[in-house]
Structure 1
Amino acid sequence: MISTGKISLFATAIVVSASMIEAWVLSRKKTAHFDWHEVMLSLTDLVGRKLLALLPLSLAAPIFAFAWDHRIYTATINSALMVLLLFVGQEFFYYWYHRASHRIRFFWATHAVHYSPNQLTLSSAYRLGWTGKLTGTAMFFTPLVWLGIRPEVVLATLMINLLYQFWLHNTWMPKLGWLEYVFNTPSAHRVHHASNVEYLDANYGGVLIIFDRLFGTYVAERDDLPCRYGLTTPTRSHNPFVVQFEHWVSLARDIASSKRPWTAIGYVLRPPGWRPDGAGETTEDLRRGVTH
């Protein structure tokens, strides 16, 4: 039987190869500027994460172990119904993990790395940040373990979810008709990556888009409003360490400047851009036209 590690290595090779082919094609087009620096930063992110994966650093691992030891059932994925239930359950918790990663600054400090590319290409898909395992975002899937799904099955399902999302990171694929109502598509994901105020904090789904429609976070791509990629305050540096840690440095600086404990906690747990005086740059502030 092929090991999970070999499958992951094979998938990574395909993903990187496809992104390099796309980059080569796009760079030869005369109609738009293509920035190879963005591709190199994504490759550096990928290599760094692969190296860090060799270290036993995971906040979620002991949480998963505790949940498994205290599970209320032991599920066996041996039927189409169980596969479907696992898929829908994983999608539900992925939606809330992803929404929290945009709305809680502690998680955003890592997640922002994924949105730092100022162009959207397939290589953007594997720029995910080096500090994800240290923030414990996988713990959002703990209920599945507690319900009786083995931790390695939960993580494998999440890996498949992320692999699906690879092809969504492009600007050249059109809308896909009725599929837009059910699945996460390149069009829906372009909105998710856009920094236009009208598009912020939308389309959090992984494979499906139904939970965005259910919870009111779905926004359709508009023909009259082209997506602008990158962060609301764009990252211009080509230094991978700046890209990886600028949001952590900013968070640490705000915490250090706090005069009250609740203010420091607010910087950690409130949305990115929050300020205690109300003159911040959260999504809500930007939509109201409130800036520094």
Structure 2
Amino acid sequence: MNIILYAVPFFFLLIGLELLLEKIRQTNYYRVNDAINSLSAGVLSRMLDIVKTLVPLTIYVFIYENFALFTLSDSPLVWVSIFVLYDFCYYWNHRLGHEVSLLWAAHVVHHSSEEYNLTTALRQSSSSFFSWIFYLPLAILGVDPILLISVGSLNLVYQFWVHTRHVPKLGWFEWVFVSPSNHRVHHAQNKVYIDRNYGGVFILWDRLFGTFQEELDTDPVIFGIRSSLKSWNPLYANVQVYSQLWQDSWHTKGIWNKIRVWLGRTGWRPDDVAQAFPIVKTDLNQFEKFDITLPTLNKAYCLVQHGVTTYIALLLLLNIHLLAGYQQLGLVIWVMFASYSVGCMLERKDFAPRLEWLKHLSLICGVMLFGLPLWIMSSVIILVLFSVVLLVWLQSSKHNADNSLPSQVQGL
């Protein structure tokens, strides 16, 4: 059973409840553009998991079948023990994901939001290629691949609820388990909080290995990363740090520096490239969140388009066994393109409406050519027609608004 997939309705229910609390408490923890960017990154992650998990799982199965030291019984005690051991492996996977540049390049996506709410939990990387290595010791211990997937999914589901600012400190609970308070610390860019609180379910590992930091009233958390993403493009979020590492490696002199750029401590840069291509870090004393003003109609259109993209992604995930390989690949590529296009709409790029027209046309052609079931074709066509109406309305409203401005202002 795909636990993550079937947990999706539960995730959105909790997001709805958090939005209700947002209204009741008059907080300002959500922005439409940031939330859509987080959710789009999550959808992309699930899509690309289809492609990238096959080889790592094959390696795990090979080691399990040929090198397992024990045959484990299927008892509750064994299951709980594996759950704890998985979280121990997760701690080191997560910790090195912050401390090694190559691994941080993938993990940074999850930390790039400058907000902190339940949509942030779904802001996952699509380019994490090495995390499976940290769980290979479980294969040697004899942990069945199905059990590994099950405990891993439950570990991930647990982590969802801690991405909220509405839950205060929880007393004794904080000594054993990861809580919203100590995970808020993990997402901070304040100096006192950086590289702390790596546990997935248990905070005990951080207390044991010296990486625990309590949330302090004297230092309110500032969320995000010091090298701000400054974009609503989920594809760019996945390649931002890889691009910087590649450029540093290309421009620096000496083979050791070129290797160390990738495998050295996160943030380390050779002196020659640091001087030639300086990176400006965020001044937390003058911190301002990245934002692009978006009219209400634009926000509504982008929300609807994210809903359409999510619907297509869910259709693929729920019916993947019925689709041929080329159909799966085609839908994955379309979801990537759709996510990029909505990101351009959020950034109000001039060419974004043209991308949207191409997106709608390609979706109609795709469902017609793929020969999908009638109910899927009908639902997709209805969604596309509704989206087209909204897009025409949006472009008409923008045209009328531009024409209402004085001529000397319209060209600005």
Deviation at 1:253, TM superposition (A): 1.0
Q: Quick check: 2:91–2:205 contact (8 Å CA) kept in 1?
A: yes
Shift in Å, 1:17:
3.2
TM-score normalised by the chain length of structure 2: 0.63
Where 2:161 maps in the other structure, the secondary structure is helix
Shift of 1:179: 0.8
Q: Does 1:221 align with 2:215?
A: yes
Q: Distance in 1 between matches of 2:142 and 2:86?
A: 13
For residues 9-65 of structure 1, what are the alpha-carbon distances to aligned partners after superposition, in whole Å with 9 as ceiling and x for unaligned?
Answer: 220121133224424542676453631111101121122122223325555234313
Q: Give the 3-state SS of the residue equivalent to 1:203 in structure 2.
A: coil
Match of 1:69 among 65, 70, 82: 65
Counterpart Cα distance in 1 of 2:124 and 2:265: 19
**Change in 2 beyond 3 A, CA 1:57/1:96:** closer
**Which residue pairs with 2:149 in the alignment?**
155
Distance of 1:164 and 1:58 partners within structure 2: 24
Structural mapping, 1:29-108, within 5 Å: 30-32=26-28, 34-55=30-51, 58=54, 60-108=56-104
Aligned-partner Cα distance in 2 for 1:164–1:23: 20
Partner-residue secondary structure (3-state), 1:92? helix
Distance 1:277 1:85, change over 3 A: same
Hey, what does 1:131 align to over in structure 2? 127
Give the Cα–Cα distance (whole angstroms) in 2 for the partners of residues 192 and 156 of structure 1.
Answer: 25
- Aligned length, in residue pairs: 275
Instruction: Give the superposition deviation at 1:233.
Output: 1.8
| 2:259 is equivalent to residue 265 of structure 1 | yes
Relative to its length, the structure with more helix (as a share) is 2
Deviation at 1:245, TM superposition (A): 1.3
2:224 is aligned to: 230
Q: CA deviation at 1:271?
A: 2.1
Counterpart position of 2:185:
191
Tell me the alpha carbon deviations over residues 200-224 of structure 1, each in whole angstroms, 9 at most, x when there is no partner. 0000011101110110000001011
**2:236 corresponds to:** 242
| Distance across 1 between alignment mates of 2:269 and 2:150 | 38
Q: Cα RMSD (Å) of the superposition?
A: 2.2
**Alignment counterpart, residue 12 of structure 2, candidates 16, 28, 31:** 16
- Bigger mean CA deviation after superposition, 254-263 or 204-213: 254-263
Is residue 169 from structure 1 mapped to residue 169 from structure 2 by the alignment? no
266-275 vs 163-172, greater mean Cα deviation:
266-275
Q: CA deviation at 1:77?
A: 4.3
3-state SS in 2 of match to 1:40 = helix
Q: Secondary structure of 2:97's match?
A: helix
- TM-aligned CA deviation for residue 229 of structure 1: 0.1
Deviates more, 1:100-109 or 1:15-24: 15-24
Deviations 1:240-277 (A, max 9, x none): 22222111111111111121121111111112210233
Does residue 210 of structure 1 match 2:213?
no
Q: Distance between the aligned counterparts of 1:202 and 1:222, measured in 2?
A: 13
Which of the pair has more CA radius of gyration? 2
How far is the alpha carbon of 1:278 from its aligned partner? 10
Equivalent residue of 2:147, what SS? helix
Check whether the contact 1:111–1:129 (CA below 8 A) recurs between aligned residues: yes
Alignment deviations for residues 149-170 of structure 1 (CA, whole Å, 9 cap, x no partner): 0122112211111110100001
Would the aligned equivalents of 1:23 and 1:121 in 2 still touch at CA under 8 Å?
no
Gaps of 5+ in 1: 281-285, 287-292
Select the structure with the greater relative contact order (CA < 8 A; seq sep ≥ 6): 1
Q: 1:36 to 1:25 in 2, by over 3 A?
A: farther
What's the secondary structure of 1:168's corresponding residue? Answer: coil
Are residues 231 and 78 of structure 1, via their aligned partners in 2, closer, same or farther at CA, if it must alter by over 3 Å? same
Post-superposition offset of 1:176: 0.3
Contact 1:59 1:136 in 2 (8 A): no
Amino acid at match of 2:57: A
Deviations 1:120-164 (CA, angstroms, capped at 9, x unpaired)? 0000001111112xx221110110011100122112211111110
The corresponding residue for 1:113 is 109
Aligned equivalents of 1:159 and 1:193: distance in 2? 21
Q: Which residue of 2 aligns with 1:252?
A: 246
Matched-pair contact (CA < 8 Å) for 2:68–2:139: no
How has the CA–CA distance of structure 1 residues 157 and 31 changed in structure 2, closer, same or farther, with 3 Å as cutoff?
Answer: closer
| Cα separation, 2, equivalents of 1:11 and 1:255 | 41
Distance 1:181-1:278 versus aligned 2 partners, 3 A rule: farther
Q: Give me the whole-angstrom Cα distance separating, in 2, the residues matched to 1:199 and 1:278.
A: 29
